[in-house]
Amino acid sequence: MSNISAHMTINSHYHHTDVQLNEELVIIEAAKKNPAQFAPLYNKYYKQIFNYLYQRMDCKETAFDITSQVFLKALSNLQNYQFKGVPFASWLYRIAHNEMMLVFRNLKDKRAVNADIGDLRFICEETNEPFFEEYIPIIKKLITELDEEDLMLVEMRFFEKRPFKEIAEIINTTEGNAKVKMFRVIEKLKVKIKKYKV
């Protein structure tokens, strides 16, 4: 069962300029030829991936273990990486997501949800519902009751403010499909919020 707690802001940038993306691609191609060149990517993204995982679980040690596994898998499968116009981090997040899901199948009670009032306010705005402080417990309850896929979408879109292009890369779908999935989640939340407010 999920639990919800105070939000820990992830200080990372999900938007890269074309120049930054091209510079990163040069590093990736070099790492494909020589694994020792993977170090800059590891140093750049280790903290982001760890924070992403730690946000979603109660155990720091487990987050550390999965983060290590993510980078091992990334390095092992680097030859299969294909540039899709988003930061390399998106591919790492996809690996992290998959590794985390394996853990949650056995540790469902370890799933954590981190949000602050600003995040919850944004959800109300998206569902065209007015936001009042007394709605906070209701919205928190509804979020923790979402299935895993829907919860991940809410976290990435509302809590981490990721663009749909990156969300699509992480969940391995098209940008259009990611938007449709998010729309459906919002519609579900809208119905449930109205039900609780009656």
Q: What are the 10-residue block averages of pLDDT along the chain, 198 residues in total?
A: 44 63 93 95 94 84 94 95 88 91 71 68 71 73 84 86 87 91 87 71
Give the pLDDT of residue 198. Answer: 52
Give the pLDDT of residue 131. Answer: 64
Q: Helix or strand or coil: residue 19?
A: helix
The angle formed by the CA atoms of residues 44, 50 and 53, to the nearest 5 degrees, is: 140
Ordered alpha helix ranges (H), 77-147:
88-104, 117-126, 136-144
Q: Which helix (H) or strand (E) holds 112?
A: strand 112-114
Ordered alpha helix ranges (H), 105-174:
117-126, 136-144, 148-154, 164-170
Give the pLDDT of residue 110. Answer: 61
Distances (CA, A) of 14 to 159, 178, 187, 188: 13, 16, 26, 27
Give the pLDDT of residue 117. Answer: 61
Specify the pTM: 0.72
Beta carbons of 53 and 66 less than 8 angstroms apart: yes
| Locus of tokens 């707690």 | 5
